[in-house]
Amino acid sequence: MHADLKSQTRLLRLSLFLWAATPLVDLFLLALSGNLGANPQETLLRSTGMCCLVLLLVTLSITPLRRLLDWTELVRLRRMLGLWAFAYAFIHLLGFWAFEHEFLWSAVLKDAFKRPFVTVGLVGFALLIPLAITSNQWSMRQLGARWKTIHQLIYAVALLGCIHFFLHRAGKNNFFDPSIALAVTVVLLGLRWRWRRPRHH
Amino acid sequence: MLRSGKHRQLISGDHLQSQVTPETVFLNRRTLIAGLGGAALVAATTRGGMSNAQASTRAPGNYAALPGRPSRFSIMEKPVPFADAAGYNNFYEFGLDKDDPAANAPSRLKTSPWKLSIEGLVAKPRIFDIDDLIKIAPLEERITRLRCVEGWSMVIPWVGYSLSELIKQVQPLGSAKYIEFTSLADPKQMPGLNSRVLRWPYHEALRLDEARNPLTMLTFGMYGVVLPAQNGAPVRMVVPWKYGFKSAKSLVKIRFTEAQPTTSWSLAAPNEYGFYSNVNPNVDHPRWSQATERVLGVESLFAVRRKTELFNGYAELVSGLYAGLDLKKFY
């Protein structure tokens, strides 16, 4: 029984890895073949942004799902999905740096002081960095209880991602997609809040 | 008068043929990936990238031909591939995404029969049938850069004639100071009218002297064929020295007025979109800089952004219209 569950999880993990990797491979191939449409830079930025947000939300849904399905093994997937979210965020930022600011970090920084959606995006990414760096066994051992505290930043990152999305859409009044993202985020965070364990000191 | 580097008389009519690039290999974006079951995530996250395999500046064969004589107003730049010009559009009446108009307009927009009503302060108001309208003056092909307020530009070979030819025919009265353009707003044909971003019908306007400038073009075609639906068929404006949204599409009415008309984008966001909306690198949009633009239709993903030019490079021809006008105040 236990062995079955383990191999099930392994299969699920492989599938999810491929699922998460697919858009990246797809975008890469489309870029090479010149099939990203009339504004390929925009397509790349939007696609990587969307993938990051989706993966963030999937990562956030692991714990609620584990509880609802009584499937502890699911937690093993969380690190991989979280790191994929970081990967897309990183590529999204690199794209912004390359395509919007022609490889000038000084210009990116200046933009962060000018445009709120850039500010929010950069802060969100900055918060992801410690999470990515500590996503390994060694860090968990070194940090102990602090590891969990640090990783609560993921809630802030998810919210910042939604705000970044809303701000980016300002002007078109097309808030349909960001609203869905926010609704999912709120539900997931709400569940976490409801199930929070009282602190033991 | 015209700078020889940019606006040169074209000798040959088949300049476009000579600029056709070799077709790139077509790669179906789904064949490699779909098998891995990644189609769902890909579809959810990469929608909007229209396949642009054919880097051809020739229109596909299924569009009716509409040739124009070479124009002295053409810039000597290579047009973007037809697929780009016809696949990346802001035409909110057909949806808010860039690929919505190409997806929705061709099957829904009925371009024949079509009438354009000229009304207001004119001696000879008239309702033109599109077939008569197109014959008022000889058609020219003008290669101009369409500079979108969003910060990208495309070089497009439009086919039409100067709006001044039409203005001559209808004889505006002395009291006429402005022209208002109205686009079609038919909920039966246009699914995007549900959107509350803009109030419909789409309105745009020019000062009468701006409208009379020979650069202002009443446009019926592009790339030597009739306008695709998503590009504002069957008749639209092209005002090359202003941001693209001033070039209203699918026109049904042109009205001559005494008072400055309200325009749709000024109504939606008056602090962002002004009446003039002249291309101006020195006047930023409140939410982004207008100093540079991304040139679409070029090969490299890492092409350097282009420095935006005052009046989109047409300063010699139009700056006289704005002598003494504070362009920062009257944006």
* Mean pLDDT calculated for residue range A183-197: 88
Q: What is the pLDDT of residue B299?
A: 83
Report CA B34 to chain centroid distance, whole Å: 36
Nearest chain A CA: its distance from B172 CA (Å): 36
- Give B70 to chain A, closest Cα distance, Å: 26
Taking contacts as CB-CB distances below 8 angstroms, the residues of chain A near B49 are: 30, 35-37, 40, 43, 47
How many CB atoms sit inside 10 A of residue A197's CB?
5
Domain residue limits at B162: 15-21+56-271
Task: List the domain boundaries for chain A.
Answer: 2-194
Q: Are B167 and B214 in contact (CB under 8 A)?
A: no
Nearest to B197 among A15, A27, A173 (CB): A173
Q: Smallest Cβ distance to B45: which of A50, A172, A174?
A: A50
Q: Is the Cβ of A130 closer than 8 Å to some Cβ of chain B?
A: no
The answer to whether position B90 is within a domain reads yes
Contact B90, B148 (CB under 8 A): yes
Q: Min CA distance, A70 vs chain B (Å)? A: 26
When comparing pLDDT for A162 and B51, which is higher? A162
The shortest CB-CB distance from A18 to any of B25, B36, B46 is to B36
Does residue B283 sit in helix, strand or coil?
Answer: coil
Helical packing angle, A116-133 and A105-114, nearest 10°: 120
Of the candidates B4, B164, B160, which has an alpha carbon nearest to the alpha carbon of residue B75?
Answer: B4
Q: Does B137 touch chain A (CB under 8 A)?
A: no
**In tens digits, what is the pLDDT along chain B, a chain of 331 residues?**
333 333 333 333 333 333 322 222 222 333 333 334 444 444 444 433 444 434 677 888 889 999 999 999 999 999 999 999 999 999 999 999 999 999 999 999 999 999 999 999 999 999 999 999 999 999 999 999 999 999 999 999 999 999 999 999 999 999 999 999 999 999 999 999 998 889 999 999 999 999 999 999 999 999 999 999 999 999 999 999 999 999 999 999 999 999 999 999 999 999 999 999 999 999 999 888 999 999 999 888 999 999 999 999 999 999 999 999 999 999 9
Q: To which residue do tokens 């920084």 refer?
A: A109
At A170 the pLDDT is 80
- pLDDT score at B91: 97
A12 versus B257: the higher-pLDDT residue is B257
Instruction: Tell whether B278 is covered by a domain.
Output: no
Count structural domains, chain B: 1
For B294-313, the three-class secondary structure string (H helix, E strand, C coil) is: EECCCCCCCCCCEECCHHHH
Which domain CATH number covers B113?
Answer: 3.90.420.10
Nearest-Cα distance to chain A for B2, in Å, is: 31
User: Is B75 inside any structural domain?
Assistant: yes
B103 within domain boundaries: yes
pLDDT for the residue numbered A6: 75
- Res A195: pLDDT: 83
For residue A57, is pLDDT > 50? yes
Question: Which pLDDT does position A171 carry in this prediction?
Answer: 73
* Average pLDDT rounded to a whole number, residues A83-91: 98
- β-pair type (B217-222, B203-207): unpaired
CB atoms B38 and A22 under 8 Å? yes
Domain membership of residue B151 (yes or no) is yes
Query: Looking at chain B, how many residues does it have?
Result: 331
pLDDT at residue A200, rounded to an integer: 55
C-beta atoms of B287 and A41 within 8 A? no
Q: In the A/B pair of chains, how many CB contacts fall below 8 A?
A: 121
Contacts of A25 in chain B (CB under 8 A): 33
**CA distance, residue B93 to nearest chain A CA (Å):** 13
Q: Do B287 and A174 touch (CB under 8 A)?
A: no
How far, in Å, CA of A147 to CA of B17, rounded? 64
pLDDT of res. A192: 85
How many degrees, rounded to 5, is the angle at CA A120 between CA A116 and CA A122?
A: 115
- Taking CB atoms within 8 Å and a gap of at least 24, the contacts of A137-142 are none
Q: Is the ipTM of this complex over 0.95?
A: no
Output the pLDDT for position B23: 26
- For residue B296, tell me if it sits in a domain: no
**Domain assignment present for B259:** yes
- Phi and psi at B104, nearest 5°, equal -105, -35
Which tens digit of pLDDT belongs to each residue from A116-132? Answer: 999 999 999 999 999 99
Q: Quote the CA–CA distance of B63 and B80 in Å, as a whole number.
A: 18
Cβ neighbours for A194, distance < 8 A, ≥ 6 positions apart:
none
